[in-house]
Amino acid sequence: MGSPLQNVFPLQKAVTPWPNSSRLRDVSKDDVSKVRRFASTTFRKCDVSQPFSSSPNPSKSFFPSDMEIPPGLETTKRKVAHSDEHGFSDDLDQVRVPNVIVMVGLPARGKTYISKKLCRYLKWTGFKTKVFNVGEYRRTDANAADAIHGANASFFSPDNAEALKVRTESARRAMEDMADYLNSGTGSVAIFDATNTTKDRRSIIIDFCKKKRLRCFFIESVCDDPAIIDSNVTDVKVNSPDYKGLMTAEQAKEDFMNRIENYKRQYEPLEESEHESLSFIKVINAGRSFKVHQVRGHVQSRVVYFLMNIHLLPRSIYLTRHGQSEYNAMGRLGGDSPLTEDGRKYAAALADFFEEEEVPGLRVWCSQKVRAAQTAQHLKPDFHTEYWKALDELDAGICEGLTYEDIQQRYPKQADDRATDKYHYRYPSGESYEDVVSRLEPVIMELERQANVLVVSHQAVLRCVLAYFYDRPLSELPYIDIPLHSLVKLTPRAYHCDSTIYALDLDTQEWAETSAQLPLCDSPRD
């Protein structure tokens, strides 16, 4: 059987255009060899948050000096087509420019909610990201004993010159810290969480980013739905540090509504004409509609993709591993073995659980492995089970079907490499946890869009999903302990995710319930 490249480029009668060539020519074995060598040498894993550096001659920094590059595939630095008013050009170096995500909108429009969700998503996908909330800077700059502490709506009046100085200084400090975070190489994306409701304030931010060589993208949250605003004020704002212990809930709500009115007096919505190179997305009424303008680059595209998939509707996400399989009982990795007797007991108990729970509109997503399908087979047909290849277990490559003891004996270097960096380690001819995160991104987007869902999958896959909803660092992701015959219920909230664990006693067929996040496992090997 031919190699993948031979299948793509058949050696007989294959015709293909080469870059920088005005004619077509046959693909020879020598051509295929060059392409193979080029691909195997250059298409290596990169840290998406820290792209490889450019140089005056990028081809020398990217390609090994001893490698012959196929005709037309030589890389040279692109000529600058133009520079916009903020100093950004079409130069190849712009790949390395850190990104600033700037929130815009009146209070109680979900800016902080969006900031935290977006930060969690970007970190999960590998971008080093941090939120800089100006309100937190203000609370440290202001005197808690005075009215300018922020627990009074007058502090946010455009007529209050003294308070305006405090707010301006707080924003300046947050911006300086943000620039230090990005330009020091500590992070690659910063989210500037503030109202930024005037054109003048946004112009200051744009000029600041231009000076610091940062790329700007604005997210404006627009909401005129009284129900959404009232819910946000009641559920979140009255319990904020500005009011906690200083006012009753009723007083806090009244004061916060007055704060909104003060901001409305000076609010100027984002407009395309504001700046020639302005890039933004407007999120209208919690995602009912969107307006996207002039998106630039990979990070901004991912931000738009994410924002157009999240919603605020209440729902629950249930996660479970398949029941015990024959390979589980033998301590072997991967494979496609069926369930054991204990595994079949769990499958029956799982169906009974959801029969009693009566979760409205529940959908079931299942991996395509036999053990997962058998675990889901007794669930009601009304649940509409879908089988996702993306939910299959991490591929252990040459170690499939082996025990950890086998791996240690046969491939001691592989065992040591995995123990050193479990998240990035890739099994030969297999996958890493990092690879699983990449293939799960569409699953996460669908989970953000859907209502109630049950996911029947595998340990490595569910670790990746839980790390996203638990907001765990990638270094902890491979160690989240997910026992067999347990069910996790996640209920996303505005600023966190509730977690309930149900553990089945196989002998009594009873579920024990605890409200907590799953801990890290004791054994670093599993």
pLDDT of residue 4: 42
Could you count the other beta carbons within 10 Å of the beta carbon of residue 254?
15
Same domain, 55 and 113: no
Same domain, 375 and 297: no
Strand residue runs (E) in 81-234? 99-104, 129-133, 189-193, 215-222
The answer to whether 424 and 434 are in contact (CB under 8 A) is yes
285 annotated to a ligand binding site: no
Q: Which residues, 6 or more positions from 282, have their beta carbon under 8 angstroms from its beta carbon?
A: 220, 222, 270, 290, 291, 292
At residue 8, φ and ψ (nearest 5 deg) are: -75, -40
From residue 51, how far is each of 47, 98, 214, 266 by CA, in Å? 6, 11, 15, 40
The residues that are catalytic are 322, 393
Final residue belonging to a domain, choices 261, 279, 307: 307
Same domain, 295 and 347: no
Q: Residue 406: which H helix or E strand, with range?
A: helix 404-410
* pTM for the predicted model, two decimal places: 0.79
110 annotated to a ligand binding site: no
At residue 396, φ and ψ (nearest 5 deg) are: -85, 5
Q: Residue 498: which H helix or E strand, with range?
A: strand 497-505
472 annotated to a ligand binding site: no
Same domain, 340 and 280: no
Tell me, what CATH number does 145's domain have? Answer: 3.40.50.300
The answer to whether 320 and 362 are in contact (CB under 8 A) is no
pLDDT of residue 53: 38
Closest by CA position to 408, among listed 461, 353, 333, 473 = 333
Same domain, 328 and 465: yes
- How many structural domains compose the chain? 3
Say whether 85 sits in a helix, a strand or coil: coil
pLDDT tens, residue order, the chain (526 aa) = 444 444 433 333 333 343 443 333 444 445 545 444 444 444 444 444 444 333 334 333 333 444 444 443 333 333 334 445 444 444 434 557 899 999 999 999 999 999 999 999 999 999 999 999 999 999 886 654 354 445 589 999 999 999 999 999 999 999 999 999 999 999 999 999 999 999 999 999 999 999 999 999 999 999 999 988 998 888 777 777 788 778 888 988 999 999 999 999 999 999 999 988 899 999 999 889 999 999 999 999 999 999 999 876 778 999 999 999 999 999 999 999 999 999 999 999 999 999 999 899 999 999 999 999 999 999 998 898 999 999 999 999 999 999 999 999 999 999 999 999 999 999 999 999 999 999 999 999 999 988 899 999 999 999 999 999 999 999 999 999 999 999 999 998 877 889 999 999 999 999 999 888 888 886 667 7
Tell me, what CATH number does 368's domain have? Answer: 3.40.50.1240
Q: Could you tell me if residue 68 is inside a domain?
A: no
What single-letter amino acid sits at 74?
Answer: E
Closest by CA position to 470, among listed 462, 22, 258, 155 = 462
For 132, the domain range is 92-307
**DSSP 8-state secondary structure symbol assigned to residue 66:** T
323 annotated to a ligand binding site: yes
Final residue belonging to a domain, choices 262, 280, 307: 307
Strand residue runs (E) in 194-238? 215-222
Q: How many whole angstroms separate alpha carbon 454 and alpha carbon 98?
A: 37
Q: Could you tell me if residue 424 is inside a domain?
A: yes
Q: Which residues, 6 or more positions from 120, have their beta carbon under 8 angstroms from its beta carbon?
A: 468, 471
411 annotated to a ligand binding site: no
Query: Pairing state of beta strands 510-515 and 486-492?
Result: unpaired
At residue 309, φ and ψ (nearest 5 deg) are: -120, -15
